[in-house]
Amino acid sequence: MIRVGILGAAGYTGGELIRVLLGHPEAEIVFANSESNAGNPIADVHEGLQGDTDLCFTSDMPFDQIDVVFFCFGHGKSEAFLKEHAIPERVKIIDLAQDFRIKGEHDYVYGLPEMSREEICTARHLANPGCFATCIQLALLPAAQMGLLTEDVSVNAITGSTGAGQKPGATTHFSWRNNNLSIYKAFEHQHLAEIRQSLTQVQGKLDASIDFIPYRGDFTRGIFATAVVKTDKPIEEVVAGYKAYYQNAAFTHYVDKAIDLKQVVNTNKCLVHVEKHGQKLLITSVIDNLLKGAVGQAVQNMNLMFGIEEKTGLMLKASAF
């Protein structure tokens, strides 16, 4: 069994990670750390887990008893935590925040299996991609491999309210979010840096801008993204390139017809579809922001890092109706 520790376990990602790992046949949760909830039953906070676990949150962090630790902190807290706490060298780290996603003076591997599977398999420290970043990269990586990103790319993506985290805020309050739609961080979203990093790595050079407009949706889970790329390449060649790129991917699938969000909610899948309108290629990509966009991908990466079957614990059915 893979012995697991979770830091920041009381938030949405922490709760979703616990839910997935409770159904993982080769993983055991040793501790779920939350300073503010120490001593409280996990199911009292993550109420969907009533009857599934008797575990309680703890303020302890027995790193000597685990094989891997998941960081479910807010952005910017992982690096600060590591400066104050010693984690044994043998313990693998999977960070769900953005602290180590950009290459620098650290040994964290960027954990997008559809791009870096071999590196993930031998990684000791892993930076899990962001939710928007995952959805948009999976839409554009095959196009980058074909060298199609030579002109500015227009991207629009809408995310569910869980993407904003569990802490209440003005734009997450039900009465504001319900039946509402808004734009935020236009052209400046923090995930753009990792998106450009990956696309540059695959295409070799990226002079085009990624003009990304994020939207807040009036639903709880999922990301629906569209990207427009100018190209004169025939649609048949583009489709063949997408199918070839994802032919061995465990969870990302090219679909021949138009896709919708409910096909992926509650799963670790990403579905991608492309169509051609004149010289414009329309690419659609959908994921569940808490699973393929966060926790599901993190567990997928854990499976790869420990040499077990990639899909273990992640065969989840979509909430399609």
The span from the CA of 120 to the CA of 109, in Å, is 6
Q: Please identify which of the residues 56, 121, 131, 135 carries the catalytic annotation.
A: 131
Does residue 72 contact residue 5 with C-beta atoms inside 8 Å? no
3-state secondary structure of 235: helix
Residue 135 bears catalytic tag? no
Does residue 136 contact residue 225 with C-beta atoms inside 8 Å? yes
Identify the H or E element spanning 153. strand 153-159
Sheet holding 2-7, edge to edge: 27-33, 2-7, 68-71, 92-95, 125-127, 109-110
The span from the CA of 132 to the CA of 225, in Å, is 8
Concatenating the DSSP letter of every residue in 94-151 gives EE-SSTT-S-SSS-PEE--HHHHHHHHHT-SEEEPPPHHHHHHHHHHHHHHHTT---S
Q: Which tokens in the block code for residue 295? A: 């926790």
Q: Which residues contact 107 (CB under 8 A, 6 or more apart)?
A: 124, 125
Q: C-alpha angle with apex 297: 157 to 155, nearest 5 degrees?
A: 15
Q: Which tokens in the block code for residue 278? A: 């004149």
In terms of Cβ atoms closer than 10 Å to its own Cβ (0-12, 13-18, 19+), residue 176 is middle
CA distances from 215 to 146, 174, 255, 281 (A): 29, 16, 24, 21
Question: Could you give the residue numbers annotated as active site?
Answer: 131
